[in-house]
Amino acid sequence: MRSAQGRQLRLQCGGGSHWRDHNCQALRAPGIRAGSMGDRWGQLRMCLGSLAGLPEPQVPPGLVLRTFRSDDEAGWAQLMTGAIGDWDVQSTRREFLGDLGVDPDGIFFLVMGGEYVATATDKRTADAATGYLQHMVAVSAAHRGRRLGRCVSLAALRHMRQRGCQRAVLDTDDDRLPAIRTYLALGFVPHMVEDDHPARWQRVMSHLEQAASR
């Protein structure tokens, strides 16, 4: 059975049309392309048109939700390496802490004792009304399937709202299907920036629907 979420997205980008959301139209301005906020080109863009009414993160028993501390780099790098890419303390400091858009109080972790379980980051953009959900939303492989990506993403999104943002954007890869499913459930929608995005989103939704029907 095709999911309602899948039917909705096909209406949004079927026939090659672009998703329309007046709260996201500013993101079509020259110089803002998919991936540009995270310096990663060719990714898919998603937009959450309003940060109003976000629920509080539901933190499971045994886990603690907190922000960055000065000795987090090694555990953070290990968590991200287990999720996507290859990170160490130096690259983590350079790409995240060295980014002028990233403040320590916008970096969120779910931890269990000394184990780093999940992370998400609120990154400032040139548009004060728009927050960027940093591309490295990551959950440890041992803890996936517990909606922890939703929990830590909500923490970052609520932080955006507290500092005055009205909307949020993110960039993601076509094959990050569990993450895309989480973003859709949070209210993000595809934001068509590049010419190939409608066709790519159709493929993504087809894969999500196939997975849901198994």
Predicted local confidence at residue 27, as pLDDT: 52
Residue position matching structure tokens 């290990």: 78
Residues in the chain, overall count: 214
Between 17 and 9, whose confidence is greater? Answer: 9
Residue position matching structure tokens 């993160």: 57
Angle at 114 between CA 141 and CA 116, to 5 degrees: 35
Instruction: Give the HSE-up count for residue 56: Cα atoms under 13 Å, Cβ half-sphere.
Output: 4
pLDDT tens digits along 18-51: 344 445 654 543 334 444 444 445 899 999 999 9
* Cβ–Cβ under 8 Å, residues 122 and 159: yes
* Cβ–Cβ under 8 Å, residues 151 and 138: no
Predicted local confidence at residue 12, as pLDDT: 44
Predicted local confidence at residue 192, as pLDDT: 92
Q: What is the mean pLDDT of residues 124-143?
A: 90
* 3-state SS string for 67-127: ECCCCCHHHHHHHHHHHCCCCCHHHHHHHHHCCCCEEEEEEEEEEECCEEEEEEEEEECCC
Instruction: Give the residue among 157, 154, 204, 162 at the shortest CA–CA distance from 45.
Output: 204
Predicted local confidence at residue 24, as pLDDT: 61
Name, in order, each residue with C-beta under 8 angstroms of 149's C-beta and a sequence gap of 6 or more.
118, 120, 137, 139, 178, 179, 182
Predicted local confidence at residue 203, as pLDDT: 95
pLDDT tens digits along 135-192: 679 999 999 999 999 999 999 999 999 999 999 999 999 998 999 999 999 999 999 9
DSSP string for 38-63: GT-TT-EEEEES--TTPPPP-PPTT-
d(C-alpha 116, C-alpha 113), whole Å: 8
**Both tokens assigned to 106:** 């916008």
Between 147 and 16, whose confidence is greater? Answer: 147
**Both tokens assigned to 201:** 């989103």
Domains in the chain, start-ordered, CATH in brackets? 4-47+59-212 (3.40.630.30)
Predicted local confidence at residue 129, as pLDDT: 95
Range of lowest pLDDT (35-44, 49-58, 81-90):
35-44
Q: What is the mean pLDDT of residues 75-103?
A: 88
